[in-house]
Chain A
Amino acid sequence: MSPRKKRIFVICIVLSGITISVALILTAFEKNLMYFYSPTEVANGSAPEVRDFRIGGIVLKDSVKRNVDNLKVSFVLTDTVSEIEVQYEGILPDLFREGQGIVANGKLQSNNIFIAKQVLAKHDENYMPPEVAEALEKANSHFMEQYK
């Protein structure tokens, strides 16, 4: 094969590789990007109805209710302005506590209950997930002072 042909071949391979991977990435991105919404935004109705998204806030005191027979649990997330009920089945993370900031992935039901597929709490005793901190700040700037 002549050098020129070889070069063209290599360029074609590189280009097709790039095209394929860009196509892959875009479709995968489209499916798997998850946006973050605060309870207030959810209450305003700006959260998507069909897609999964992330929600974050403080677990309201005395709101955690466990089912006696299985691992179903429900709790209320708040950004001090709006509240939303979250339901989950499974084991909550080590650092899940009332008054702690958490983030949950899942879907919003039509009755405005958030069905969580995953609940995340960061591994640090005074750590506030940055998304939650910002959501709280947006909702109520005074509230943050207690946490600083």
Chain B
Amino acid sequence: MIPELGHFTLILALAMAFIQSSFPLVGATIANQTFMALARPVARLQFFFVVISFFILVYSFLINDFSISYIANNSNTLLPWYYRFSAVWGAHEGSLLLWVLILNIWTIAVTYFSRGLPEYFVARVIGVMGLISAGFLLFMLFTSNPFERIFPIPLDGADLNPLLQDIGLIIHPPILYMGYVGFSVAFSFAIAALLDSNLDTTWARWSRPWTLLAWIFLTLGIALGSWWAYYELGWGGWWFWDPVENASFMPWLIGTALIHSLAATDKRGIFKNWTLLLSICAFALSLLGTFLVRSGVITSVHAFATDPTRGIFILLLLGVFVGGSLVLYAFRAPTIKAGGKFKLLSRETFLLLNSILFLVAMLTVLLGTIYPLIIEALNLGKISVGAPYFNAVFVPIMSPLVVFLGLGVITKWKQDNLFQLLIKLRYLLISTLFIGITIVLVFFENHQLKTSMGIIAALWISLTTFYSFYLRLQNKKNKLAAMLIIPRSYYGMLLAHLGFSVCIVGITITSNHSVDIHERMKIGDTIEFSNYQFNLRDLKEISGPNYKATEAIVDVKKNETLITTLRSQKRIYTVRDMPMTEAGIDAGFTRDIYMSLGEPLDTESWSVRLYHKPFVRWIWLGSILMAIGGLLAILDKRYRTAKQRKKSIIVNNEVVS
């Protein structure tokens, strides 16, 4: 009975989504106040129904209701309760419900934090979000109902995929989805702006904090995914250029271009067309990501052909939203007036160049991701595009981007003087090259060219960032007071750019200086590796709630002093009879020591992988800094005062009228 209630509330939510999308959108066009006023309450009602539905699924998982097919396939009585909870989004149907729930969380946030915005604008934003929700609810109800029953009811479930039984997979999908789906807000703002008769740049200011927030979640979500892959897959990689990863990376690339372009539109009234296009593009890529991950095309185009309803439905959704918005854009874009003027040598130029580079980077990833699918669909053979392709194209695209980033930060808006810029650059360039090359020569013996490229890039970004801060304070008498006046979004920019350079350091050093060995070990064996001594002290049999494991205990010594003891497990999850590796990691600021058990070779020896991964933490540290930078930008007073000013204008108008 309870699962049917969950199904029923989903249908009610769909009904609300239809009302939420039709009346407010029509109301905004014919200026009907009653229709527009429906937007907020109906959106909240839809949220209410979706939440009930979601909690019914959670509840059914917790009480092990195996009469629901989705739960029977993805849970088990032996599964600990927290994994039964996260199993809700462990597979297709539930993760779609999470998608819709998160879309509704964003919508509800818009209903509460949009009080300063004009009524017709909010009605349009909420209306467009209602359309998206309706599309996905239809998709769920027609092809992927999470509450579908099975008969006969199995005694126990088939268990959750052991790979997903991990803390990282409890938090990673919701955070990533917050980012993915968050771009729907930027998209809806862009559509609302395009529907508006007089398209100015105020929408850019309204859209900015939302877009930044979505970008922050996406950044953290991708970093979490990379961290999870690093410790869970057991072979020390942190990025694989896997189609599923690319699906989240493409919206991030465009999202990054978008937050910069939005800033320029907001501050200087330029790039209006470009910003609108990026907003549409970011959400289109989120939808494409959902299609790639959820339709089954990634495993094989033919897997898609065996169950085409789901894939075709998402493809249809993609076509309607992207096609519809691009048509609208094509009609409206020519009427948009060009904003402020700028000269060739100006910050605007560098912003635009990097925007384009982000787009090019996204297209190369897109091509590498879908080219094999196209070739396979055309029956031209089976190919795979490996990581070397992405690495080969990504570095040359990112190099000019880094150069332009540094130049953009120290160049003035509108117009700069080439001679003065060169004077500024003189010391910056010399110190960047000098420090970079010195560091590489002193600390690194091999791969010096690649390493110095990365280190110089990171130094260039940090030094130009600090220099721009210095320029800002240069002519101020009271430096401390000046520091306090500088808006938070500026500090956000500083921090995010520093985070980017920290990331580059991590990626460069880890990629070029990690070492690993695969060895055969039995109890008592010691291996000398990367100036550490690894001693396999013991092998223990362990049994967990739903698995059996062999644990290797390895003492790591350097010059006869014990540094750490690593524990790595090889687990066999009994229900699916599936092996899993739990790596033993000693994390450090400048290096990780990483060990994972391979396989039993005979009665007493095991194969063991050992890794020394310098600076790998910096990749995630940099991502966190970027996210904090974004958060600082959101907290900028600009948005709050803007809201208050708007409010007072509206209040005044009401008083007058």
Contacts and interface: CB of A to CB of B under 8 A. Distances in A.
* Chains A and B form a bound pair: yes
B360 A35 contact: no
A18 interface: yes
Given A54-B384, A71-B518, A91-B598, A13 B353 contact: yes
B385 A21 contact: no
Contacts of B389: 28-29, 31-33
A66 B384 contact: no
| Interface core residue of A3, A9, A90 (most chain B CB under 10 Å) | A90
Interface string B228-249: 0000001000000000000000
Contact of B344 (A1, A66, A69): A1
B357 interface: yes
Interface stretch (A76-84, A108-116, A123-131): A123-131
Contact of B388 (A3, A25, A31): A31
B386 interface: yes
Given A1-B343, A21-B360, A94 B607 contact: no
Contacts of B363: 21
Interface in B289-341: 299-300, 302-303, 338, 341
A34 B384 contact: yes
B360 A94 contact: no
B343 to A, nearest CB: 6
Interface of B is mostly: mixed
Contacts of A70: 520
Interface string A77-109: 000000000000111101110000000010000
Given A91-B598, A91-B607, A123-B578, A21 B382 contact: no
Interface residues of B, number: 47
A32 B356 contact: no
Contact of A32 (B302, B338, B392): B392
A14 B367 CA distance: 18
A35 B578 contact: no
A34 B386 CA distance: 8
B167 interface: no
Contacts of B367: 25
Contacts of B392: 24, 27-28, 31-32
B393 interface: yes
B300 A130 contact: yes
A24 B396 contact: yes
A125 B381 contact: no
A15 B342 CA distance: 21
Contacts of B598: 91-92
Interface in B356-400: 356-357, 360, 363-364, 367, 371, 381-386, 388-389, 392-393, 396-397
A10 interface: yes
B360 A18 contact: yes
Nearest to A130: B300
Given A18-B360, A21-B397, A90-B518, A131 B353 contact: no
B520 A32 contact: no
Nearest to B605: A68
Interface in A54-84: 54, 66, 69-71
B579 interface: yes
Given A10-B352, A34-B386, A54-B384, A94 B580 contact: yes
B357 to A, nearest CB: 7
B599 interface: yes
B393 A28 contact: yes
A60 B364 CA distance: 39
Contacts of A94: 234, 570, 578-581, 599
A148 to B, nearest CB: 12
B303 A17 contact: no
Contacts of B161: 123-124
B388 A33 contact: no
A90 to B, nearest CB: 5
B601 interface: yes
B599 A125 contact: no
Given A91-B518, A94-B579, A130-B300, A17 B357 contact: yes
B109 interface: no
Nearest to A89: B518
B472 interface: no
Nearest to A34: B384
A32 B579 contact: no
B163 interface: yes
Interface string A5-41: 0100110011001101100110111011111100000
A53 B598 CA distance: 25
B237 to A, nearest CB: 12
Given A21-B393, A91-B518, A66 B360 contact: no
A71 B607 contact: yes
A55 B367 CA distance: 24
Nearest to B303: A130
B393 A36 contact: no
Given A3-B338, A70-B520, A95-B578, A17 B356 contact: yes
Given A29-B371, A35-B382, 7 more contacts: A9-B344, A24-B396, A27-B392, A33-B383, A89-B518, A94-B579, A95-B579
| Nearest 8 CB-CB pairings of A with B | A130-B300, A91-B598, A36-B382, A32-B389, A28-B392, A94-B579, A32-B388, A21-B360
Interface of A: 1, 3, 6, 9-10, 13-14, 17-18, 20-21, 24-25, 27-29, 31-36, 54, 66, 69-71, 89-92, 94-96, 105, 123-125, 130-131, 134
15 contacts: A13-B353, A21-B397, A24-B392, A24-B397, A25-B364, A25-B393, A28-B389, A28-B393, A29-B385, A35-B381, A35-B383, A54-B382, A91-B518, A91-B598, A124-B578
